[in-house]
Structures are given as C-alpha cells and as structure tokens.
Structure 1
Amino acid sequence: MSYVWGVDSAVNVTEDVYNCVLNNFGKPMFWGRYLTTVPNASEGLTQTEIRLLHNSGTKILPIYNKFTKSTGKRQGRVVAQNAVFHAKRLGIPKGTFLFANVEKEFEVDAAWILGYVEALYPSGYKPGFYNDPKTGNFRSAYCKAVSQNKLIAEQAVLWSAEPEPGVTKKAKAPTFRPSKPSCQANVWAWQYGRGATQCPVDTNLIDQRLQNELW
C-alpha cells in the first residue's frame, strides 16, 4: 500500500504559505482546507486558493467544521446537508470525500454518525470523519454506529489525529501507523504532526485510495 504526504491548515493558502511548506517541508500532494469561515477556528476556502492549489498540482481535502456538537441523528443529517451545500457552492465535484471535523472535546454519539453518513452518501459525496481515536468518545460512538449499520464501515473513511510523533519534512514522514478503533474501519488518513513552527500547517499521511478521490 502506498501513502501520500500532505498538510492541512486553518488559514487561507497564499503563495507565501504554499512556498513556506514547499521550502521547509516538501511538495504537498494534498492540502486539507475548511469549507467555511468559523471565527477563531478556520478561514473558509476561496476560489483563489482553489486555483493556486490546483495549478500547483496539489489536491484539496475538504473539511466541514461549522458545528460544535455531534449528537442525534437529525443533527448529523443537518451537518451533512450543510457540508454538501458548501461543497457545491465551491464547485467541489461529487465523488469527493467531505470530512466532518469531530474534535476530541465534542460530545458524539452513534446516532449522529449514522445521520451524517446516511444523509451524505446519497448526495454523491463520500463521508469522512476527522477524529481523535484516543481522547473523547468518538471511537465508541463509531463502533456502535457500525454495529447498527455495517454500511458505515464500508462507506466512511476515518482521519486519525493519533498518535502524534510530531511534524516532519515530507522525506522524513513516519511509517503509516494511525490509531484505529477496535471495530472495522477504513482509517485512510493520519494527522501525525500538529502546529508546525515554520508554517501554519499540520502534517499528514493518507492512503493512495483516498488521494485518488480528493479534488
């Protein structure tokens, strides 16, 4: 299995930011970016960034984070619908994974995960979850959701935030060993380093299968 190196950022990708990553770490094959602006959390993806990244041969990994609670099936469906709305607004094609950003301090339950996947999948986009599989209750909620609907494990991709050996250059990236839940899961992405000092990014490795279905 081959793995691909890239970054994610809460800030907009300017030429300066892109060149900072290029010169300090290496060429990112993908860049995780948030679909909307959330005060004190993220700057929303722009058409200028999209052109810059695509012209540089870097794919976009879309993240949706305009929510702070991950409980209840209805709320999961609402988050999925909002993610789809913003993906379409930005011109992101169907078939692309849209990652719901589940922070470790969030309350999360199986119903919310079921709601997100069941609402997102028929839209033509694919469901993903950024999560911390060690701290918080995402892991147990995910496995409960899988036990209730095995399609969750087949359709969803997990982006693990653990373990965190630390930021590296592309050439020094660690072997792909993200933490995983105890049940069936497609853990195809790993944020292994957070808060680089040289540039405002985190460093990641993803499975080539996920890279193929980014934008």
Structure 2
Amino acid sequence: MAYVWGVDSASPVDNRLLQCVLTRFGKPLFWGRYLSTVPRAASGLTRAEIAFLHRQNIKVLPIYNAFRSAVGYGNGKTVAREAVRYALRLGISRGTYLFANIEHYFRIDEGWIRAWVDTIRMSGYKPGIYHDPIRGQFSKAFCSAVKKDARVRRETVLWSAQPEITTTGPRNAPAFAPNRPPCRGNVWAWQYGRDSRVCPIDTNLIDSRLYNQLF
C-alpha cells in the first residue's frame, strides 16, 4: 500500500509558510486545513488559499472543528450540516472526505458519530474523523457506533493522532503504524508529528486511497 506525505496547519497557507515547509521538510502532496475560523484555535480556509494550494499541485484535506462536544445524534447532525455548508461555500467537490476534529478531551458518544456519518453521507461528501484512539472517549464511542450500524466502520476514514513521534519530511517519515481503536476501522491517516518548532505545521502520512479522494 502506498502512503502519501503531507502536513496540516491552523494557520493559513501563504507563500512564506509554504517556503518554510519546502525548505525545512520537503514537498507536501496534501495540506489539512480548517473549514471555519475558530478564535484562538484556527483560521478558516478561503477560496484564495485553495487556489494557491492547487497551483502548487497540493490537495486540500478539509477539517471541521467549530464544536467542542460530540454528544447526541441531533448535535452530530447539526455539526455535520455546518461542515457541509462551509465545504459547499468554498467550492469543495462532493465526494471529498470531510473530517470532524475530535480532540481527546471532548465528550463523545456513539450517537454523535452515527449522525456525523449519516449526514455527511447524505450530503454527497464522505465522512472522516480525526481522533485520539488512546486518550479520551473516542475508541469506546466509535466501537459502540459500529455495533449499532456497520456502515460506520465501512464508510468512515479514521485519522489517528497516535503515536506522536516527531515532525519529519517525506524522506525520513516513519513506516505507517498508527494506533487504532480496538474494533475494526479504516485508519487511513496518521498525524505522527505535531507542532514543528521550525514551521507551524503537523506532519502526516495517509493512505493513497484517501489521497485520491481529497480536493
């Protein structure tokens, strides 16, 4: 299986940040960015930024993080609809994976996960979830959701935040070995390096099947 190297950032991508990454790490083939602005957390993606990345032949991995709790089917449905609204406004093609950003300190339950998957599926996009499979409540909630609806396992791409090693470029990236929930799931992405000291980015490896369905 081929794995592709790329980065994500809370900061907007401009020429200065791109040159930092190119000089210190290498060429990313994708860039994870947040769909909306969250004060003191992340700047929202813009159409101009997408165009800039596409001119560099860099795909966009869209992330939605404008929520702080992931409990309840109704809440999951609302959050997913907002993610879809932002994606459509930015011109992101249907069929692209949209990732919910679940931090390890979030409250989360299986109903929220099922709602995210159901609502993203019905919108024409594809459901992804960034998560920590070791710390926090995600693994238990995900496996419960899978027991209730097998489509959650089949359709969701998981982006693991563990183990955290160090930031590297593509040439010295580790072998693809993310931690996973204890039940089966499509762990196709791994954020193996966080908070680089030289550029404000994290470094990632993703499965080529996911890369082919980014924007």
Normalised by the shorter chain, which TM-score bucket? over 0.9
The answer to whether the Cα contact below 8 Å between 2:8 and 2:31 also exists between their aligned partners in 1 is: yes
Q: Does 1:106 align with 2:112?
A: no
Q: What secondary structure sits across from 1:92 in the alignment?
A: coil
- Using the TM superposition, give the Cα deviation of residue 189 of structure 1 relative to its aligned residue in structure 2, in angstroms: 0.2
Distance 2:115 2:78 in 1: 8
Whole-Å separation in 2 of the counterparts to 1:16 and 1:118 = 39
3-state SS in 2 of match to 1:122: helix
Provide the aligned length of Structure 1 versus Structure 2. Answer: 215
Report % sequence identity. 53
Q: Quote the Cα distance in structure 2 between the aligned partners of 1:47 and 1:17.
A: 17
**Superposition pairs of residues 126-141 of structure 1, within 5 angstroms:** 126-141=126-141
Q: Secondary structure, in 3 states, of the residue corresponding to 2:209?
A: helix
Query: Could you tell me the TM-score, scaled by structure 1's length?
Result: 0.99
| Runs of 4+ residues deviating >2 angstroms | none
Task: Give the Å deviation of 1:47.
Answer: 1.6
Preserved contact between residue 47 and residue 91 of structure 2 (Cα < 8 Å) = no
CA–CA separation in structure 1 for the residues paired with 2:12 and 2:136: 29
Map 1:32-181 onto structure 2 (within 5 A): 32-181=32-181
SS of residue in 1 equivalent to 2:192: strand
Deviations 1:56-77 (CA, angstroms, capped at 9, x unpaired): 0000000000000000000010
Structure 1: stretches of 5+ with no match in the other structure: none
Matches of 1:75 and 1:166 in 2, distance apart?
35
CA distance in 2, matches of 1:121, 1:131: 19
* In structure 1, distance between residues paired with 2:170 and 2:41: 26
**Shift in Å at residue 163 of structure 1?**
0.2
CA–CA distance in structure 2, aligned partners of residues 199 and 32 of structure 1: 15
Superposition TM-score, scaled by structure 2 size: 0.99
For 1:4, give the aligned amino acid.
Answer: V
Q: How much does 1:165 deviate?
A: 1.0
Q: Deviations over 1:13-67 (max 9, x none)?
A: 0100011101110000000000000001100001221111000000000000000
Q: Residue in 2 aligned with 1:3?
A: 3
- Partner in structure 2 of residue 201 of structure 1: 201
What's the CA shift for 1:101? Answer: 0.2
SS of the aligned residue for 1:11 comes to coil
Q: C-alpha distance in 2, partners of 1:50/1:157?
A: 22
Measured in 2, the distance between the counterparts of 1:119 and 1:52 equals: 30
Gaps of 5+ in 2: none
Q: RMSD of the TM alignment (CA)?
A: 0.5
